[in-house]
Structure 1
């Protein structure tokens, strides 16, 4: 279930099915949108691996797999094949009403599209690559319905976040706070503002992904009522130079 939610919340620009897997391509911008998602067990794993390795090589991209807790055999095979493990990530979920009760009400500008100020802050904090990479990122952002929250001050955008809308679920992405405004509760405020607007549009539950080692963010989400629901990591194999614009995680 979470794989499909995350797939809809951060959609790749191109997807190619390969024997139960989904090879995703987005010009190298973000691991998720440029990785293989194993939706089902492959009937012929060796042949499938050879096919996806060629697909990524043809596009000049490193081969990356998103490996869930259930993908133990695939993880073993990739390890033996020389794929490095990294970016351990926790999927967390919460009931929207519980989060809003914990965080309270905050004044946040919420829109259905990202404006220049939103994009500028997010890319300055979390972006990798040049203007071409940002253009790809904008296509990913626009791949499904979402809300974009911004807190502003005299200097412009101080904090931003994105809430992907997938049925009754809202997925938190792109939470970024300007460096001079950190440790002031703005991340929690953006989250509360997005979920308030999302609840008005019918969402009742929320999910997010957070790097396992990001203790500060995990403390924030725990205080807000999020609990661990799943774990995954990436396996990568670089046979060529990496493409500019790859994020660690999205």
Structure 2
């Protein structure tokens, strides 16, 4: 997941990966704590120092695999607040075959580059708004190989997604439909096209991340055959 949504700046700190991208998206501006540093207190202090130097809040991505195992409790005691609980859902390669015979809607478009129209839809949903911040967002998206999917209806892209392969697997990101075009089944059409593409590429499986509060999306993903494999949340301490 880290490789499919690459931060602009990454560095190692005693088994942790520090990610900074001018504050654009929590995922690209958080610590990925994969192994335990020799001195956890010193490492947290260093994270806070480096974050402050960039005028960013200190943020950790906490999953069941976070190290040390009590890191979440340690950060809570230090005043870090919890936010953005997120599910990690997966579909194994053996399940992709169910989409072998899916007839991809002829209005679906695939591209190796995000068009400006595609980007505008993504930014309308998740931001950012400022031109400099949008350039950072564009660099994050294009930081790894990806296929950009769009459903064009009556001359306008209405729904989008991004398929980012990493080795034998791929992540599905940026599943978004214009607000005025929702409840028409467009997201399902896009998701079916994306999973069919994953099958066509003989991938070992796909994953996606969805906020626990996004009940509508979770219902759709479950109906398509995704299952929850893990979860994470963020711990943040303000400047």
Q: Report the TM-score range of the alignment, normalised by the length of the smaller protein.
A: over 0.9
RMSD of aligned Cα (Å): 1.6
What is the aligned counterpart of 2:78 among 72, 77, 81?
Answer: 81
Q: What's the CA shift for 1:105? A: 2.5
CA distance in 2, matches of 1:118, 1:20: 36
Structure 2 match to 1:167: 167
Q: What's the CA shift for 1:214? A: 1.3
SS in 2 for 1:9: coil
Structure 1 match to 2:58: 63
Structure 2 match to 1:51: 46
Contact 2:96 2:199 in 1 (8 A): no
SS in 2 for 1:138: helix
Structure 2: runs of 5 or more not aligned: none
TM-score when normalising by structure 1? 0.89
SS in 2 for 1:129: coil
Q: What's the CA shift for 1:104? A: 3.3
CA distance in 2, matches of 1:89, 1:127: 19
Say which is worse superposed, 126-135 or 137-146, in terms of deviation: 126-135
Q: What's the CA shift for 1:100? A: 6.4
CA distance in 1, matches of 2:145, 2:202: 13
Say which is worse superposed, 104-113 or 15-24, in terms of deviation: 104-113
CA distance in 2, matches of 1:168, 1:94: 13
Q: What's the CA shift for 1:205? A: 0.6
Q: What's the CA shift for 1:172? A: 0.7
Deviation per residue, 1:184-242 (Å, 9 max, x gap): 11111111212223333332311001111211111001001001101111000011xxx
Q: What's the CA shift for 1:129? A: 3.1
SS in 2 for 1:123: helix
Count of aligned pairs between the two proteins: 234
Q: Does 1:104 align with 2:102?
A: yes
Following superposition of structure 1 onto structure 2, how do residues 1-250 of structure 1 map, counting pairs within 5 Å? 6-71=1-66, 72-96=69-93, 98=95, 101=98, 104-107=102-105, 108-154=108-154, 156-239=156-239
SS in 2 for 1:60: coil
Q: What's the CA shift for 1:39? A: 1.2
Deviation per residue, 1:36-57 (Å, 9 max, x gap): 0001012100110111111100
Q: Which runs of 4+ in 1 moved over 6 A?
A: none
CA distance in 2, matches of 1:137, 1:114: 11
TM-score when normalising by structure 2? 0.93
